């Protein structure tokens, strides 16, 4: 896609934010929760979609200290999970991670996620397990980049995962759309990260052409 086309998409979207042709409506923010060994590429298209229309984000961490991704990218959070003005946000992004056990066992992180109940939440790869732990996806349909047998080893119950589509499940019978939307929550597996990002964008009111990311 040509740069001018991207700019035109942004201009058209921002035009929708004009109130009575004069005042610009303030967009609510998207919270991005990071934890050690987070997967950067899985959420990059989603963040780019938000950036294309100027939708603000805040990167949160359990502490105000550097968080290192699985590929070695170091990120300093904008704020900690203890400082959340919930009314300023309409959505939350949760990336996958090489090892998410520490985040799953962190009650402060789980409490932070619980606060977003009723708002748009995008979780990819293994991150949907955080939503199960938070009580937001228990027994409901979702995708995750892990197999049920491995999840049971971490203390999750059969009843929690009755509608889970795991890694091998999706290989045997792929979910056609590439993601699952359950209420206000969208989940997917890592290799569907672009489809997931585009759908997340639509859920927060941003409809970016798929060809922007090379998808027809």
Q: What is the pLDDT of residues 141-178, one digit of tens each?
A: 999 999 988 888 778 888 999 999 999 999 999 999 99
Which tens digit of pLDDT belongs to each residue from 22-48? 344 578 999 999 999 999 999 999 999
The two structure tokens encoding residue 166: 């795991």
Rounded Cα gap, residues 128 and 181, in angstroms = 12
Secondary structure (3-state) at 98: coil
DSSP H stretches of helix in the chain: 3-16, 40-52, 101-104, 107-114, 128-133, 148-152, 167-172, 193-203
The two structure tokens encoding residue 10: 């942004």
In the chain, what are the domains? 3-213 (3.40.50.880)
Which tens digit of pLDDT belongs to each residue from 49-67? 999 999 999 999 999 999 9
């Amino acid at each position: 896609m040509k740069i001018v086309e991207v700019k035109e998409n942004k201009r058209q979207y921002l035009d929708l934010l004009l109130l009575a042709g004069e005042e610009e409506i303030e967009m609510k923010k998207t919270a991005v929760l990071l934890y050690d060994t987070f997967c950067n590429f899985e959420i990059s298209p989603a963040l780019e979609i938000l950036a294309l229309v100027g939708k603000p984000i805040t990167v949160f961490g359990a502490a105000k200290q550097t968080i290192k991704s699985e590929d070695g990218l170091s990120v300093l959070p904008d704020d900690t999970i203890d400082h959340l003005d919930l009314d300023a946000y309409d959505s939350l992004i949760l990336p996958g991670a090489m090892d998410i056990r520490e985040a799953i066992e962190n009650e402060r992180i789980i409490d932070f996620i619980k606060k977003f109940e009723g708002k748009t939440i995008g979780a990819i790869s293994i991150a949907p397990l955080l939503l199960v732990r938070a009580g937001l996806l228990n027994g409901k349909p979702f995708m995750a980049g892990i197999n049920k047998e491995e999840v049971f080893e971490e203390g999750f119950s059969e009843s929690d995962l009755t509608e889970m589509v795991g890694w091998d499940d999706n290989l045997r019978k792929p979910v056609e759309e590439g993601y699952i939307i359950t209420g206000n929550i969208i989940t997917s597996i890592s290799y569907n990260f672009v489809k997931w990002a585009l759908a997340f964008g639509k859920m927060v009111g941003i409809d970016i052409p798929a060809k922007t990311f090379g998808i027809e």
